[in-house]
Chain A
Amino acid sequence: MKTRRFDALIVGGGGAGLRAALQLARSDYKVAVVSKVFPTRSHTVSAQGGITAALANVDDDRWEWHMYDTVKGGDWLGDQDAIEFMCREAVTAVYELEHMGLPFSRLDNGRIYQRPFGGQSKNFGGDQATRTCAAADRTGHALLHTLYQQNIACRTQFFDEYFALDLLRDAEGYCLGIAAMSIGTGEPLLIEARTTLLATGGAGRVFWNSSNAMINTGDGLGMVLRAGLPLQDMEFWQFHPTGIAGVGCLITEGVRGEGGYLLNGNGERFMERYAPHAKDLASRDVVARAIAIEIAEGRGCGPASPQRGGGYVHLKLDHLGEKTIAEKLPGIRDLAIRFAGVDPVEKPIPVAPTAHYMMGGIPTNLYGQVVAPARYGPEEPVPGLYAVGECACVSVHGANRLGGNSLLDLIVFGRAAGRHMQEYLRDNPYPRPLPGDAAEASLARLRRWDRAGGERVAAISDDLRRLMQGHAGVFRTDAVLREGLESLNELEERLVRAGLQDTSRIFNTARIEALELENLMGVARATLVSAIGRTESRGAHTREDFPVRDDERWLKHTLYSRAGDHVDTKPVRLKPLTVESIRPQEREY
């Protein structure tokens, strides 16, 4: 079989992968990036509002305040050492992006433009802060293109349109690279590397109504589960308050940051009732729940119709004026006109919560090393394996991510992992031999899809998304989750019987979709089982049968393993690196 060898391998060409790749490429190590799409098609490109860092360009600010907001936003489930690291590094990480050429919007004095975002405060819970650095409402696009450009300059080796199948590991657990497949030719390829980073992004396509790109199918999570490693905090999914109703495309929180607000069917600014202080700029979980309640209690806007998914609220921004909208929110205006048929300069946008972000993922430490429970002691790194970005769970977002912190996560931990991988390469100068049968399981998986079958992949895929929408949405109960799990068992049986009509080699996208569905199935199971396990409400995980946060029993992370659907727990690290711990408090906005 064809084999290529590199020092470092990055799986995923989004912001996290490209930031890490850049760090390594600049150090003269031989680095390759494998991406199932041309890198600038990665989902980072869709990020709108910005990247959060306490630059204090507009107003007083300190990284300690950013840290407090992130801990509180995550409902105290985030690890405070990682959060301190991220908020502290944020400032230099953002300046670095600017030096690379990222076209940030500017203030009159020439400094980087910053806007208010939800859940941000000054002085540990005081007035609204202005902390999110933006390139109009296309920050992700600007960031991803800038990083890609820098990587071309450094001659990073790209494997575009290659699909990652599985991790290659030896008997001692070292990660030695991946088995992949060229989408263009259908041929398998082994890519050996002394160190491998997973930066495969989220899995939001497991829900019917999602802001996510169609490529967000949790491929890295599937690889990790198949390797027998656990996933952390998979019950925590963020539903973004303002997706375009019935479509799911995102309308950035930046709209509310710039002064937009939400109205229910009675024309009432209902967020005042739910978050008297922060109102429309409360944390996303708080706003999404409020909208869901308004709609459920009959105070939504417009008639329930299949087009609009049975109810929505209005996001009003016409009072900002055409000039501000054109300067600061041009992409949003475009999306609203195209997908909602309304020009926000004149009329409010119909919005409803949409699945947006996976707080959980592959457990890592703050160097991006993947960690797993050890036979002795709490946990230890999996040698040679790293994970960064939405697929990883460091955990900095805890039970609910703040807007503007995801791009930051990519950059800070992409850089940190890139640095640590260099150390690892220095300490492990020789490649370890690849066991002869290392790729056997992957090849068997590929062969399995050469078989014709009765069930259609697309139908199972649709049913999976409906299932998760109905059984693991904003509000959850034990009964509904268990019902979902039973239906998932049936879907898994159907998947066994499924086959492809198309068994060609060249650009067989049907085969890719089948492999993606296998990954999504794993993500769905991890989510349902973890959500059944967590008998409390925290952040984005709302259990109607356990409506309050229970710090005594549940101030801890869940760890889901595929073997036996086992859910273990591990403690939350409440001790930061240098500052004082932020003790759990009642969470109010």
Chain B
Amino acid sequence: MKFRLYRYNPESGKQPYMQDVELDIDPAGRMLLDALLAIKARDETLSLRRSCREGVCGSDAMNVNGRNRLACITPLGELSEPIEIRPLPGLPVIRDLIVDMEPFYRQYRSIKPWLINDDPVPETERPQSPEDRALLDGAYECILCACCTTACPSFWWNPDKFVGPAGLLQAYRFIADSRDEAMAARLDNLEDPYRLYRCRGIMNCVDACPKGLNPTEAIGRIKALLVKRRV
């Protein structure tokens, strides 16, 4: 199979370039990560992140034939050749397929991604109805891979000011949690022309999410709550 890999080694003094690689591999039942690791076994200078190899840890997000995907759950057979692989767009490249995720993590931290509830701690669990719990489905499953946020043109323009789809989906996860008491403060934190309203409903995030989540919908719900609170 034919691959075109984005290569960049900051120590080499060379500009980034695309490397053509051919690999003898049967795509049946194999994922893109298998191929990349086979290439790395031959040329160990190729650098990428990987961990769980089953799509739950979010390490190996990359841009594959123009789309942000997790290499470990992208079937090789689905991809048209040459398979062009680049680092996630919109974040500084450290080396090869490894990007600096800090701008993404900073936005995640900015939404205070933890449950806030200052009531006295009960002796057992805080009850939550199955219906209330169902509101978290589609939000809590985020694996922080950054496929969505780095597919978002609004984030490319304002990575320092726009929270981005992943961060906003997590903000919604806590706003929607019946056990959380900080909804007002959370909405205040987002009511800003950049932090929330840079989302223009382009919906690249929905297309990019490898877990099938829908950040645009969650962002719409946050906007609706803000409207509701004004009237």
Are A152 and B52 also in contact (CB < 8 A) when A458-B44, A501-B44, A504-B9 are?
Answer: no
**Judging by beta carbons under 8 Å apart, are B94 and A506 in contact?**
yes
Residues on B with beta carbons closer than 8 Å to the beta carbon of A146: 115
A: interface residue count bin: 35 or more
Q: Is B109 touching A152 in the complex (CB atoms < 8 A)?
A: yes
Which stretch, B15-23, B139-147, B186-194, B198-206, touches the partner chain A? B139-147
> When the two chains form the complex, which single residue of A109, A307, A335 contacts B54, counting CB atoms closer than 8 Å?
A335
A424 lies within 8 A of chain B by Cβ: no
Say yes or no: is A286 at the interface (Cβ < 8 Å to chain B): no
Question: B73 near A: Cβ within 8 Å?
Answer: yes
Q: Would you list which residues of chain A between 493 and 534 have a CB under 8 Å from chain B? A: 500-502, 504-510, 513
- Does B98 contact A507, Cβ atoms closer than 8 Å? yes
Task: Mark contacts of A275-297 with chain B using CB atoms, 8 A cut-off: 1 yes-contact digit, 0 otherwise.
Answer: 00000000000000000000000
A184–B94 CB distance below 8 A: yes
The reply to whether B57 and A213 contact each other, CB–CB distance below 8 Å, is: yes
B-chain residues with CB within 8 Å of residue A37 when the two chains form the complex: 49, 51, 57, 59
B157 within 8 A of A: no
Across the A-B interface, give the 10 residue pairs with the lowest CB-CB distance, nearest first: A101-B115, A110-B127, A510-B44, A149-B114, A41-B57, A458-B41, A98-B125, A502-B45, A153-B114, A213-B52
Is B43 close to A, CB under 8 A? yes
Q: Which of B111-144 contact A (CB under 8 A)?
A: 112-115, 117, 121-130, 132-133, 136, 140-141, 143-144
Q: In the bound complex, do residue B114 and residue A103 qualify as a contact, i.e. CB atoms below 8 Å apart? A: no
| Chain B residues within 8 Å of A46, by CB | 52, 54, 56-57
With an 8 A cutoff between CB atoms, is B67 at the interface? no
Q: Could you say which of A142, A150, A501, A509 contacts B47, with CB atoms under 8 Å apart?
A: A509
Q: Which residues of A contact B174 (CB under 8 A)?
A: 101
Task: Write out the residue numbers on chain A whose beta carbons fall within 8 Å of the beta carbon of B52.
Answer: 41, 43, 45-46, 213-214
Residues 178-215 of chain A: 1 if any B CB is under 8 Å from the residue's CB, otherwise 0? Answer: 00000010000000000000000000000000000111
What string of 1s and 0s marks CB contacts (under 8 Å) between B51-81 and chain A? 1111111110000000000000101000000
Alpha-carbon gap, A506 to B47, bound state (A)? 10
Interface size range on B against A: 35 or more
- Least CB distance, A335 to chain B, in whole angstroms: 6
Is B144 within 8 A of A110, CB to CB?
no
With contacts A37-B49, A138-B141, A142-B140 taken as known, whether A341 is within 8 angstroms of B29 at the C-beta atoms is yes
A110's nearest neighbour on chain B, judged by CB, is B127
Q: Which residues of B contact A (CB under 8 A)?
A: 9-11, 28-29, 40-41, 43-45, 47-59, 73, 75, 94-96, 98, 101, 105, 109, 112-115, 117, 121-130, 132-133, 136, 140-141, 143-144, 174, 177, 179-180
Q: Would B45 and A506 count as touching, CB distance under 8 A?
A: no
* Pick from B28, B49, B125, B144: contact of A40, CB under 8 Å: B144
Q: What are 17 A-B interface contacts by the 8 Å CB criterion?
A: A40-B57, A43-B57, A99-B121, A99-B126, A103-B140, A104-B125, A106-B127, A106-B130, A108-B129, A110-B130, A214-B51, A246-B29, A249-B54, A338-B75, A501-B44, A507-B96, A507-B98
Min Cβ gap A498→B in Å is 11
Contact (Cβ within 8 A) A507 B130: no
Q: Which residues of A contact B117 (CB under 8 A)?
A: 99
Residue from B56, B109, B129, B180 in contact with A45 in the complex, judged by beta carbons closer than 8 Å = B56
A213 / chain B contacts, CB cutoff of 8 Å: 51-53, 57
Closest chain B residue, CB of each to CB of A107: B130
The contact of B28 among A109, A307, A502, by CB within 8 Å, is A307
Besides the known contacts A100-B114, A505-B11, 12 further A-B residue pairs in the complex with CB atoms under 8 A apart: A45-B56, A99-B125, A108-B130, A141-B143, A152-B109, A153-B114, A213-B57, A247-B29, A249-B53, A458-B40, A504-B11, A506-B9
In contact, B94 and A507 (Cβ under 8 angstroms): yes
A457 located at the interface, meaning its Cβ lies under 8 Å from any Cβ of chain B in the complex: yes
CA of A513 to CA of B45 in the docked complex: distance in angstroms? 12
The residues of B that contact A334 with a CB separation of less than 8 Å are 55
Q: A54 within 8 Å of B by Cβ?
A: no
Name B26's closest neighbour in chain A (CB-CB): A307
Question: Which residue of A has the minimal Cβ distance to B74?
Answer: A338
- Pair B44/A502 contact, Cβ less than 8 Å: yes
In the complex the two chains form, is A105's CB within 8 Å of B133's CB? yes
Tell me if A10 is interfacial: C-beta within 8 Å of chain B: no
B178 to A, closest residue via Cβ = A110
B53 touches A214 (CB 8 A): yes
CB pair B141–A141 under 8 Å, yes or no, is yes
Q: Which residues of A have CB within 8 Å of B125?
A: 95, 98-99, 104, 111-112
Whether A101 pairs with B45 at a CB distance below 8 angstroms is no
Chain A residues lying within 8 Å of B121, measured Cβ to Cβ, are 99
Are B113 and A507 in contact, CB atoms less than 8 angstroms apart? no
Point out the residue from B28, B75, B177 that lies within 8 Å of A101, measured CB to CB: B177
For A97, the closest partner residue in chain B by CB is: B125
A214 touches B130 (CB 8 A): no
Cα distance, A142 to B139, chains bound together (Å): 11
Task: Indicate if the CB atoms of B29 and A111 lie closer than 8 Å.
Answer: no
Closest to B9 in A: A504
CA–CA, A500 and B41, complex, Å: 11
CA distance A456 to B73 in the complex (A): 28
Q: Is A554 an interface residue (CB 8 A)?
A: no
Cβ-defined contact, A338 with B177, below 8 A: no
Shortest Cβ distance from residue A191 to the other chain B in the assembled complex, whole angstroms: 20
Question: Across the interface, do A106 and B56 meet the contact criterion of CB distance under 8 Å?
Answer: no
Contact of B127 among A101, A109, A249 (CB under 8 A): A109
